[in-house]
Structure 1
Amino acid sequence: MSAKMLSFVSVPQAQPPKRLADDRRKDFDEIYNEFSPEQAATQASRCSQCGVPFCSIHCPLGNNIPDWLMLAADGRLEEAYSVSQATNSFPEICGRICPQDRLCEGNCVIEKDFDSVTIGAVERYITDTAFENGWVKPVLPVVELESSVGVIGAGPAGLAAAERLRASGHQVHVYDRHDRVGGLLIYGIPGFKLEKDIVLRRQKVLEEQGVIFHLGKGIGAGEGEIAFEDLRKKHDAVLVATGVYKSREIGGPGSGLGGIVRALDYLTASNRRSLGDVLPEGELDAAGKDVVVIGGGDTAMDCVRTAIRQGAKSVKCLYRRDKANMPGSVREVKNAEEEGVEFVWLAAPESFLGDTTVTGVRAQKMRLGLPDGSGRQSIEAEPEGLFTVQADMVIKALGFDPEPLPEMWKADELKTSRWGTLQVDRVSFETSVPGVFAAGDIVRGASLVVWAIRDGRDAAAQIDQWIAARSSSLAAE
């Protein structure tokens, strides 16, 4: 073991320098500055190199975190990147947007008494350094195969699968209805968490690897779309990795008023502006408005922090439980509070006020009760607890459900669960349609990017085996 490790007893935890909130509110740049080489090595050296690495166990990708922390502490960054990318297709993305406080860092064995190792920040530093020094190379196949795989969806699950399948030698074609690669990485996550050039440089690596992208190509029966059956005929296997894009709605009086918008529509418009797209002036723009965001997850945090940067007059977040029971990242809530977001805890919207456009949210004060079936405390209304929050823009950030793919694609043979997700064999990832596989949120339901990467990699391995077995069977006939 490196003599530089186990320094947690003498070296305090330190995150990369964070820009001041007043500066952050003015732009969509990432809020954390880079570690210096000395800072990265020092923070990596805090790792205890424990016998049972709970950080790795609680990482969906099973990343060999203690190994690359030790290499980073020794200054062996190229080797550290090699170990990191062996289990993670996009470590530069996970280092930025993973909720480390709930995963690796939250389960670090030194967390209780010494504060966890800053795993995410070191991961980001290692990969950014690798890109700067040209160490990030496309994983080219040893043997080119004649088989081809069509991947539907250029989000994290689809991209991770494409990278693995191409490395195995298959010809890989990725189809996406949007005009850019990345899915929610591009259009759903704001630049202050993930600057878009980070996604674009990874796209370039995939293209150098030989992955072929077909953008603006939706699947379905509409004009300009590719029929699902035609896609199946073009490829030996198909992977469905569309994610979940159907926003959950909220009812109640006034829910159809103007000025009440869906979170994904709002974030997509903001990201398009950041990317240089021209949108109608004022469309889905919070500038000068009293904004209320309904929800308590990471998407809600993205919305409130975006509204602050757009110059909203005020930004409030209504959540029906308290701070301790909020599903969003604790780190993101803290960043939002620093930037001027006001949280209204234990508040559930009852109705929306206004004639044609929303002017306010009528909310009900709530209180916590006994734990429910999920283990979280249940909620109940406070007697005479109605109050009004002024708003001329309301953003619904209530989560996402699957789109009805069998109906959209005229593929009734695709079986779905009662939640609308695609049914797959849990080992092979194969759907009810032979040769069609599925991975990511369209199977799992709305989840984390790191889980989508894991599912994409695992599905790619199963598709590779399926094609090999099918080729052997055909050859034997």
Structure 2
Amino acid sequence: MAGKMQQFVRLERSMPVKRAPEQRTQDFEEVYSDYHLEAAAAQAARCSQCGVPFCQQGCPLQNNIPDWLKLAAEGRLEEAWQVSSATNNMPEICGRICPQDKLCEGICTVEQSGHGTVTIGAVEKYITDTAWEEGWVKPIVPPRERKQSAGIIGAGPGGLAAAEQLRRKGYQVTVYDAYDRGGGLLVYGIPGFKLEKPVVERRIKRLEDSGITFKFNTRVGEDVSLQALRKTHDTVLIATGVYKAKDLKCPGADAEGVLAALDYLTASNRKSFGDDVPAFDDGTLNAEGKRVVVIGGGDTAMDCVRTAVRQGAKSVTCLYRRDRANMPGSPREVANAEEEGVVFEWLASPEVILVTKAGKVKAVRAALMRLGEPDASGRQSPIKSGDTIDVKVDLVIKALGFDPEDLPDLFNEPALTVNRWGAVRVDYATMETSLTGVYAAGDIVRGASLVVWAIKDGRDAAASMHQAMKAATRAAKVAAE
């Protein structure tokens, strides 16, 4: 077992074994196998233990990565898990789905020196999976119970992180979610080959065992009002995420066979749970035997193309209006998709969806693009070249991103202010909204983003909610004296 650090000069970077494409495309199980103890320790020992750890700076949660890598290298896995979980409510989930190649691993000093990055995500996953297997992860037992309560709208990563942090302080926590299961996009938006659902389910079970109440199939604004939640709870957190699909703006976009990415992914994930999904069974949300085109270049688009492959699509093509270098999705996911047979049409932007006389899609006509000057995001702007291509298709999936729902209208709360994109405005120092005692976190604040950012926002909001409830308790005591 490795004992010394800085082994990057001696040991090559080695990821856990990745299943062969012809094997993994036959199911929805995770692509990578697990490390064994010796391999995890050896890879952790490649860390250079930088005086200024860039990996930590690149992590939204500021995880103490060098510390738990050293502990893992020494075989002190329970201590490694304690350090890892001190700053992250879901280390094994982040280890699976974070784009480490764009965050911690992307700026790893060892990577910059040309020796190949430390496999931070894989070791993180291994540490916490081991903690679950060994029984180290237990329900939360607060040092004392408090009478005050918090209501959390949304059981996605931001809401779950906040719920855990508040329960640790002894508050009574109730989580309201429109879905029938907890997890949000973790269970319905992310396919099993990236995140197997039992990994999320055990997190929910632990929170339930910790005394957190979940009220599923509950839509705020319909089944219960925001005003009622504010009266019921001392503080409220809005962590709904963003689910409204951005529209495809071209003729034929409303044709039969044009789907929103989340509808498609949710149907696939529900089937994995054994749910009854009529729209999947009748072929509407099923890619089997079809020529599929996915429009978009983010991680959701990669989830869609790789899901279509596993459903037995006849062919799968991804259209993206920029080139590979300007793609917003994880390069690792793009590489996985290519290995699995997905065809990428770079610099191609849909111009019209061609339909049959019966109104069904038959082809996508795409304008070929060239890249101009960088836009506000720093990526080069696509410009039409004048040429087009036609791609025959039976199913078109829109993966163009998500917009917030109109929460002031949905919640019947016009005093809840939003920005021009519809995201909830907050004071970033406290995460409090325009409504006193109401906070917001995650995608509903920052727009569609990463799970790790939602966790950070949830933790930050929970800290502010704690301070507000603690101040209210002190004020009540003073008033009673």
Alpha-carbon separation, structure 2, partners of 1:90 and 1:466 = 25
Alpha-carbon separation, structure 2, partners of 1:304 and 1:171 = 42
Return 5+ residue gaps in structure 1 as ranges: none
Q: In structure 1, which of residues 355, 360, 365 is the aligned counterpart of residue 363 of structure 2?
A: 360
Structure 2 matches for 1:60-459, cutoff 5 A? 60-112=60-112, 113-220=114-221, 222=222, 225-280=223-278, 281=281, 282-355=283-356, 356-383=359-386, 385-459=387-461
SS in 2 for 1:128: helix
Give the aligned residue type for 1:265.
Answer: D
SS in 1 for 2:100: coil
Output the aligned Cα RMSD. Answer: 0.9
Give the aligned residue type for 1:232.
Answer: R
Percent pairwise identity: 61
Alpha-carbon separation, structure 1, partners of 2:378 and 2:454 = 25
Query: CA-to-partner distance for each residue in 1:149-177, whole Å, 9 max, x for gaps?
Result: 00000000000000000000100000001
Alpha-carbon separation, structure 2, partners of 1:169 and 1:353 = 58
Alpha-carbon separation, structure 2, partners of 1:110 and 1:278 = 49
Query: CA-to-partner distance for each residue in 1:435-476, whole Å, 9 max, x for gaps?
Result: 111111111111000000000011000000001111211222
Cα drift, residue 279 of structure 1: 1.4
Alpha-carbon separation, structure 1, partners of 2:430 and 2:206 = 28
Cα drift, residue 110 of structure 1: 1.0
Query: CA-to-partner distance for each residue in 1:8-53, whole Å, 9 max, x for gaps?
Result: 0010001100000001110000000000111101100000001000
Alpha-carbon separation, structure 2, partners of 1:137 and 1:66 = 25
Alpha-carbon separation, structure 2, partners of 1:190 and 1:180 = 15
TM-score for both structures, normalised by structure 2: 0.97
Alpha-carbon separation, structure 2, partners of 1:252 and 1:209 = 50
Return 5+ residue gaps in structure 2 as ranges: none
SS in 2 for 1:136: coil
TM-score for both structures, normalised by structure 1: 0.98
SS in 2 for 1:8: helix
Give runs of ≥4 in structure 1 deviating > 6 Å. Answer: none
SS in 2 for 1:101: helix
Alpha-carbon separation, structure 1, partners of 2:284 and 2:213 = 34
Give the aligned residue type for 2:92.
Answer: E
Is the 2:3–2:73 Cα contact (8 Å) retained in structure 1?
no
Alpha-carbon separation, structure 2, partners of 1:428 and 1:20 = 47
SS in 1 for 2:102: coil
Is the 2:441–2:457 Cα contact (8 Å) retained in structure 1?
yes
SS in 2 for 1:242: coil
SS in 2 for 1:412: coil
Alpha-carbon separation, structure 2, partners of 1:307 and 1:332 = 14
SS in 1 for 2:101: coil
Is the 2:257–2:284 Cα contact (8 Å) retained in structure 1?
no
Alpha-carbon separation, structure 1, partners of 2:308 and 2:137 = 35
Cα drift, residue 227 of structure 1: 1.4
Which residue of the partner structure matches residue 41 of structure 1? 41
Give the aligned residue type for 2:419.
Answer: S
